[in-house]
Chain A
Amino acid sequence: MTEKKKAAAVPIAIEGLTKRYGAAVALDHIDLDVRSGEFLTLLGPSGSGKTTLLMALAGFVRPDSGSLKFGGVETVCAPPHKRDVGMVFQSYALFPHMSVAENIGFPLRLRKVPRDEIARRVQEALDTVELAGYGARGVAQLSGGQRQRVALARAIVFDPGILLMDEPLSALDKKLREHMQVELRRLHEKLGMTTVYVTHDQREALSMSDRIAVIHRGRVMQIGTPGELYEQPANRFVADFIGESAFLPIEVRDGVACYAGRPLRLQAGADACKDKLLMLRPERLSVMTGEADADMNVFRGTVSSLAYHGDSYLLQVALDGGASISVRGVCYGHASACMPGKGDAITLGMHREDTVLVADA
């Protein structure tokens, strides 16, 4: 494989970016910095504005106000063809009247690159996406995964400083999608261009990104590393969107957070528990058999249903406080005998380090 030099990555600075469609606000004063060479994912449910934001970066959507700087240069008014941004579309948008090589060579032809150099760089791009020898094929002859690679090759062949991807893997089946996640990540490390990736799949976001920006109702709810978002969600929306969670109301007695009358043991330095909810992740709860140690918060309840998933099991537990929560356990062959049954009274424990309060927003 040819050694490909790292492209000069370009940082992106977004400030107060706003876009309205009639009364609906698609982007509500977005402030976001994407570091040079970073893999940033815009994560959010459909209609959150994440795709609008990406389209604004590419220049296909003209914002109403705000600033957009690529490498310190104001770009908000620049037309798409002057932005030097590689883009991979959800539909791939491979031109049906061109072969694979013609598609990949298209941005180079527009830049008046000499013919033999186009041929060389197309070859190189095909090598990079592991499709050497497919250049002469028609787009219709390719499988979904191959089209995805061609779209990627076309977006990187002209060494853009920025690469934008709009749910590029959503049309692939699960196996291929997981393979391509690893592949995209590997490519990003090799090419080093600033990458903005849009997805609604939280798993994809967690496994691929340097940082994730959670978008909701046209706003950035939280931005941080995957770990930060999962462990310390800023609010209920983020906690709910990333991972599964149940939220329990807490009451504050003498400045101490309590659930169902019991004081909760929280992480050191946990402050202000007013208007907050207790977040329970199914995998952070464990079924207790013996005596609880001092670092555990304890919840009692009754098993209302049990689902066996092969590698794990999922319990629905009705807590004595009235709430219904999920608990995930790992199945070991030797432990399956002690899996709780429906109707059993059980005690659940959660370590204080895992006990997180989130704002109710």
Chain B
Amino acid sequence: MPSAEPSTELNADRLRRAAFKERLALFGLCSPALMLVTVIVVVPAAWLFWLSFVGQAGVLSLENYQRMLDNSAYATIFWLTVKVAFLTTAVCVLAGYPLAYFLSQIPAKVANVCMIAVLVPFWTSLLVRTYAWLILLQRHGLVNDLGMGLGLWHEPLTLVNNLGGTLVGMSHIMLPFLVLPVYGAMKAIDRDYPRAAAGLGASPVDVFLKVFFPLSLPGLFAGMLIVFIMCLGFYVTPAILGGGKIILVSMGIATNIQLFVNWGAASALGVVLFGLTLLILFGASFVMRVDQMFDRGHAQ
């Protein structure tokens, strides 16, 4: 802001005004986006937040939250949601970390082609991919037909409409969210670090455990966090591949609206899920300190 009393320094006021104008212009540039976010995110979210405190009678009440405490089915839903998110993250780490490692070690040209293989499914419709899994895994789907045709098993296995099928589908859809940040972190590791470690006497296993892996951790944490949090609110895939047996919070919300037309109850579930997510993010921020240790004293 231009100060009230003119400065005695040469041109100080004009320069300060110019700086202020520049900031105003920058703010003006992002105002359409801000307005859009306000209208389609902030206002509806605030309204839903408000609704969660309105009971069926139309007056302020905590009954929507009370119901969650009274009915043990809700606790089960929340527990299952966290469990599915955790397991999906674990599967993604086990499949994605080695994949990212492989991609980071091969020549860039080949890696770019392989990256397309990671990204193409990423760009394909979620619904298409989910139904594709249904076709593959169903009772007389490709996997069962192949397995029985080869004589590996004789009765059709239940591969879908259960936790296993849900995890397969969710992990497949979440995998790129893990691979991309891990790959990025690995590519950023200077080639001289593993070399230096080897030169100093580290066997290939030591090079990985003591140098490469610790340096890739920030990317791994970021990827895990993205996958875990996205899984907490996942709806389409678990709804289709879970076959009604895997009820997550997102489905609880949908049921409350579609079946019971109870916006208050649905909003309360949403608020609790949101709170849970914030809690996890807060907890993760402590673990994430690990990556600050890479730049000890650099930040300040």
Residues of A at the B interface (CB closer than 8 Å) are 58-60, 79-81, 83-87, 89, 91, 93, 95-97, 99, 106-107, 110-111, 137-141, 154-155, 158
Separation of A95 and B195 alpha carbons in the complex (Å)? 11
A85's nearest neighbour on chain B, judged by CB, is B199
Whether, in the assembled complex, B281 has its beta carbon less than 8 Å from a beta carbon of chain A, the answer is no
Q: Are B293 and A97 in contact (CB under 8 A)?
A: yes
Q: Are A141 and B195 in contact (CB under 8 A)?
A: no
Once A106-B200, A107-B201, A154-B200 are accepted as A-B contacts, the answer to whether A96 and B206 lie under 8 Å apart by CB is no
How many Å from the CB of A70 to the closest CB on chain B? Answer: 14
A-B contact pairs, 14 of them (CB 8 A): A80-B195, A81-B206, A86-B200, A87-B195, A93-B196, A99-B296, A106-B210, A110-B201, A110-B206, A137-B296, A137-B297, A140-B294, A140-B295, A140-B297
Q: Are A141 and B201 in contact (CB under 8 A)?
A: no
Whether, in the assembled complex, B254 has its beta carbon less than 8 Å from a beta carbon of chain A, the answer is no
Q: Which residues of chain A have C-beta atoms less than 8 A from B202's C-beta?
A: 81, 106, 110
Q: Which residues of chain B have C-beta atoms less than 8 A from A137's C-beta?
A: 296-297
Q: Are A89 and B203 in contact (CB under 8 A)?
A: no
Chain B, 167-204, CB within 8 A of any chain A CB? 190, 192-193, 195-204
Chain B, 254-300, CB within 8 A of any chain A CB? 293-298
Q: Are A95 and B193 in contact (CB under 8 A)?
A: yes
Once A60-B195, A80-B195, A89-B195 are accepted as A-B contacts, the answer to whether A96 and B294 lie under 8 Å apart by CB is yes
Separation of A139 and B295 alpha carbons in the complex (Å)? 8
How many Å from the CB of B83 to the closest CB on chain A? Answer: 32
Please count how many residues in chain B sit with their CB below 8 Å of the partner chain's CB atoms.
25
Q: Which residues of chain A have C-beta atoms less than 8 A from B203's C-beta?
A: 81
Whether, in the assembled complex, B215 has its beta carbon less than 8 Å from a beta carbon of chain A, the answer is yes
How many Å from the CB of B212 to the closest CB on chain A? Answer: 10
Q: Which residues of chain A have C-beta atoms less than 8 A from B199's C-beta?
A: 58-60, 80-81, 83, 85-87
Q: Is the interface of B mostly helix, strand, loop or mixed?
A: helix
Which 5 residue pairs of A and B lie closest in terms of their CB atoms, listed nearest first? A138-B296, A93-B192, A93-B196, A140-B298, A107-B200
Whether, in the assembled complex, B211 has its beta carbon less than 8 Å from a beta carbon of chain A, the answer is yes
Whether, in the assembled complex, B44 has its beta carbon less than 8 Å from a beta carbon of chain A, the answer is no
Contact with A110, one of B200, B294, B295 (Cβ below 8 angstroms): B200
How many Å from the CB of B201 to the closest CB on chain A? Answer: 4
Separation of A137 and B297 alpha carbons in the complex (Å)? 8
| Most chain B CB within a 10 A radius of its CB, from A80, A139, A154 | A80
Whether, in the assembled complex, B244 has its beta carbon less than 8 Å from a beta carbon of chain A, the answer is no
Q: Which residues of chain B have C-beta atoms less than 8 A from A85's C-beta?
A: 199
C-beta contact mask, B201-232 vs A, less than 8 Å → 1, else 0?
11110110011001100000000000000000
Contact with A141, one of B206, B207, B211, B296 (Cβ below 8 angstroms): B296
Q: Which residues of chain B have C-beta atoms less than 8 A from A80's C-beta?
A: 195, 198-199
Q: Are B294 and A106 in contact (CB under 8 A)?
A: no
Q: Are A97 and B214 in contact (CB under 8 A)?
A: yes
Q: Which residues of chain A have C-beta atoms less than 8 A from B200's C-beta?
A: 81, 86-87, 106-107, 110, 154-155, 158
Contact with A138, one of B192, B206, B215, B298 (Cβ below 8 angstroms): B298
How many Å from the CB of B65 to the closest CB on chain A? Answer: 44
Chain B, 14-62, CB within 8 A of any chain A CB? none
A139's nearest neighbour on chain B, judged by CB, is B296
How many Å from the CB of B215 to the closest CB on chain A? Answer: 6
Q: Which residues of chain B have C-beta atoms less than 8 A from A93's C-beta?
A: 190, 192-193, 195-196
How many Å from the CB of A134 to the closest CB on chain B? Answer: 12
Q: Are A106 and B197 in contact (CB under 8 A)?
A: yes
Chain B, 145-176, CB within 8 A of any chain A CB? none
Q: Which residues of chain A have C-beta atoms less than 8 A from B204's C-beta?
A: 79, 81
Separation of A93 and B204 alpha carbons in the complex (Å)? 17
Separation of A96 and B190 alpha carbons in the complex (Å)? 10
Separation of A44 and B184 alpha carbons in the complex (Å)? 35
Separation of A51 and B211 alpha carbons in the complex (Å)? 24
Q: Which residues of chain A have C-beta atoms less than 8 A from B198's C-beta?
A: 59-60, 79-81
A79's nearest neighbour on chain B, judged by CB, is B198
Once A137-B297, A138-B298, A158-B201 are accepted as A-B contacts, the answer to whether A96 and B215 lie under 8 Å apart by CB is yes
How many Å from the CB of A83 to the closest CB on chain B? Answer: 8
Separation of A99 and B198 alpha carbons in the complex (Å)? 19
Q: Are A96 and B195 in contact (CB under 8 A)?
A: no
Q: Which residues of chain A have C-beta atoms less than 8 A from B196's C-beta?
A: 87, 89, 93, 95
Q: Which residues of chain B have C-beta atoms less than 8 A from A140's C-beta?
A: 294-298
Separation of A258 and B193 alpha carbons in the complex (Å)? 57
Separation of A140 and B294 alpha carbons in the complex (Å)? 8
Separation of A97 and B290 alpha carbons in the complex (Å)? 9
Separation of A87 and B197 alpha carbons in the complex (Å)? 10
Separation of A137 and B293 alpha carbons in the complex (Å)? 11
